[in-house]
Chain A
Amino acid sequence: MNHVVVDQFKFGYTGKMVIDGVSLDLKSGEVLVLLGANGAGKTTLLRLIARQIKLESGSMSLNDCDVITLSRPKLAQQIALMPQHENRTSMLTVLDVVSLGRMPHCGWWAPLSKIDQSRVRDAIATTGLESLTDRSILELSGGEWRRMILARAIAQDASVLILDEPIAGLDLKYQYEVLDQVRHLTKQNQLVTIVTLHDLNMAAMFADRIAILHNSKLLAIGKAEDVLTSERIRQAFGVEVSVVEHPSLKTPLIIPLHDFSKMRTGVGHE
């Protein structure tokens, strides 16, 4: 059983607080989706949890073990990050990149063991990349690239999965596919998964719990139906919406109330 506790995280750039006193408590098999307007601090919070950047203050534990003091390889055995952006300059193949997911386990030099190879094969199969293993990563489409990075994170065999906008740039079919895989893995392997998304309806359908960040602080955290209210969405995103119940899933369904035709007329008059 995995248990992640984030306690009073604080971080800022040049005097401006980006994350201010954020605390989270996450259990095995749970998918938490982070929502918030642009610049609310979602990616920064994920990077702090993955220790990509250094905390100003706060603490974090995984299964009662202090994560802040773990060495990088030990941390990578526990937490896998799927970053929003990666360099597309190397000509490595899909298999090469997914195999790098085993580096925290096999080290810098040792060849991949049979267990490592089997984990890599499983990750490739889980993400449906079998036919692309020998393809150069420069030749992948956006969706294939995202699946490859997810496969690498899966191969890492970590207890905590952190995904920064895993469906950005994907069409709807691949969005469902990727999120289905993430949810299935989280439940099957009892992982703790934290995901940032922009699509509120997708978040409502996908998440076990939703956290909304606003002005560097945690505005709300809880089940989708408790968190995604029209008032809170207005407060966090500055837009008018109506929230109804999804006819079949019974999750909140957010209907935008923005009228583009009024805007166009306004601009035209100016």
Chain B
Amino acid sequence: MSKQLNFLVIAWSFLVLASIVSLFVGAITISPLGAAKFLLGDSTGLTGTERTIMLELRLPRLITAILVGSSLGVAGVGFQALFRNPLADPYIIGASSGAALGVTIAIVIGWQAAMFGLRTSAIAALLGSLAVVAVVMAIGALSMRSGSLSLLLAGVALSSMINSIVSLLMFWNDEKVIVIFAWLMGSLASNDWQSITSTSLIALVGLAVIWSISRPLDAYLLGDDASQSLGLNLVLFRLLLVAGASIATGAAVSSAGIIGFVGLIAPHMARWTIGPKHFWLVPMSACYGGIILIVADAIARTIVSPTELPVGSITALLGCPFFVGLLLLRSRTSTVLGGAS
């Protein structure tokens, strides 16, 4: 077994362990053995109430955490590669702003819709997110020579404009500010099995697209001339990359709102553990993204129990010092920081 495969197996084992722990912690504590057995399909160790808590609350929440974390981790890999920039994250191209605008408009006009098992806010977020990415791509296509830089600038500019529109909508509809704000803070709660199934399918498409272009991603990081010389059709490749990363981001945003930082730190942690080759980096980032969100959600549910904190604030609050610590440790032990890869 290769070294990378070993690392991957260990990391995914941690994810399973974190999953078990997250199932038995919360406002009501469930025995660890019962939680582990439940994951293996045996619910005899649990009372009726515990079984309901597991089945209706914690398990959907756990799966949402894995789904959202993995999607953000992989989307982070995609966008960092696209912009050849280690600071890029899944929201840089305007996906989060678009999602926020979509949900804000839906709440303001009282839009109700259900499609493929997705809730109104999920559909609005997904549509808003994809619409903005499409506009950014169109602007990028129109300014043909500047490639990924024009995408980055278009995304940043459009995001600023959309954030202003969201603020204005909140200002004019102050009775709905709390509803909008709660969504913007991000939450893993209230995803039912039907919406989880639908979002999983969307997320898997995004993850599969990014993983399937692992080798071209390695080549792309060497520059436009080098990657074209290695047979890469840059227009087609960038389209696939943006589509895959945006679909993964859309799936995450539609499930849990805007959760920052995971898409930035998961790829870096993965790169430091398993190296820069995307064939390994993509599944490792998915794994770390899942672990980060499981842990953040467990903290959000338990730290001031029974009150629940927004998971988005936990990821940023704990993610930042953790990331800075890793950064310092890394720069002390190596001359190479890690680059954009």
Contacts and interface: CB of A to CB of B under 8 A. Distances in A.
Interface string B154-193: 0000000000000000000000000000000000000000
B213 A108 contact: yes
Interface string A79-110: 11101011111111000110011011000110
B230 A76 contact: yes
A149 B84 CA distance: 19
A91 B271 contact: yes
A170 B221 CA distance: 24
Contacts of B221: 87, 89-90, 92
- Which of A89, A96, A97 has the most chain B CB within a 10 Å cutoff? A89
Contacts of B213: 108
B232 to A, nearest CB: 6
Q: Which one of A77, A86, A149 has the greatest number of beta carbons of chain B within 10 Å?
A: A86
Contacts of B336: 91, 136, 138-139
B84 A87 contact: yes
A103 B223 contact: no
Q: How large is the interface on B (under 10, 10 to 19, 20 to 34, 35 or more residues)?
A: 20 to 34
A169 interface: no
Nearest to A73: B231
A250 interface: no
Given A91-B336, A136-B336, A138-B336, A85 B231 contact: no
B341 A90 contact: yes
A52 B216 contact: no
Contact of B225 (A52, A75, A76): A52
A16 B271 CA distance: 45
Contacts, number: 101
Contacts of A97: 222
Given A47-B225, A89-B340, A104 B231 contact: yes
Nearest to B335: A139
Nearest to A80: B229
A83 B223 contact: yes
Contact of A81 (B229, B232, B275): B229
Contacts of B232: 72, 103
Contacts of B214: 108-109
Given A76-B229, A86-B222, A89-B221, A109 B84 contact: no
Interface in B194-225: 212-216, 218-219, 221-225
A216 interface: no
Nearest to A153: B229
Contact of B229 (A74, A83, A89): A83
A184 to B, nearest CB: 22
Contacts of A251: none
Chain B interface SS verdict (over half): loop
A100 B228 contact: no
A91 B222 CA distance: 10
B85 to A, nearest CB: 9
B117 interface: no
Chain B CB within 10 Å — which of A81, A103, A152 has the most? A103
A96 B339 CA distance: 16
A90 B233 contact: no
B45 interface: no
A92 B277 contact: yes
A15 B337 CA distance: 43
A91 B223 contact: no
B218 A100 contact: yes
B52 to A, nearest CB: 44
Q: Which of B219, B223, B230, B276 has the most CB of A within 10 A?
A: B230
Q: Top 6 nearest A-B pairs by Cβ distance? A: A76-B231, A81-B229, A104-B231, A83-B225, A73-B231, A90-B221
Interface of B: 84, 212-216, 218-219, 221-226, 228-233, 271, 275-277, 336, 338-341
Interface of A: 47, 50-52, 71-77, 79-81, 83, 85-92, 96-97, 100-101, 103-104, 108-109, 136, 138-139, 149, 152-153, 156
25 contacts: A51-B228, A52-B224, A71-B233, A72-B228, A72-B232, A74-B231, A79-B229, A80-B229, A81-B228, A83-B225, A85-B223, A86-B225, A90-B339, A90-B341, A91-B338, A92-B276, A96-B218, A100-B219, A103-B219, A103-B231, A104-B231, A108-B213, A108-B215, A138-B339, A153-B229
